[in-house]
Amino acid sequence: MKERIERLKKLTYIPQKEIAWLIEQAELSDRQQEIIEENKRQQEVTVHQFRQVQEEIQHLSGDRNRYKQALEKIITNLNFAITVAQNELEGDVR
């Protein structure tokens, strides 16, 4: 696109007003293309970050479930130990 702009600038047989308009349109088109490419790049980055966050959420959800199960086992064991201790105390009291 930039080469076309330079070629247009060198033309002399087109009225200056039309040349200026053509150059302006070409430069505008070039800027729009750069913006489109940057937006695509940012979209790709955003999609990649979203997928990473999704994977992290899944990982953390798995960790949470494992911790919950481990805590439930600890609570069950503690309840059993408390029951045993209570039974032993009641046996000593009698």
* Residue 3 host element (H or E): helix 2-10
pLDDT of amino acid 94: 59
The answer to whether 57 touches 49, Cβ cutoff 8 Å, is no
The answer to whether 5 touches 22, Cβ cutoff 8 Å, is no
Residue 70 belongs to what domain range?
2-93
Report the length, in residues, of the chain: 94
Write the pLDDT tens digit of every residue in 15-61.
778 778 888 998 999 999 999 999 999 999 999 999 999 999 988 88
CA–CA separation, 81 and 41 (whole Å)? 60
What 8-state DSSP symbol labels residue 94? -
**How many independent structural domains does the chain possess?**
1
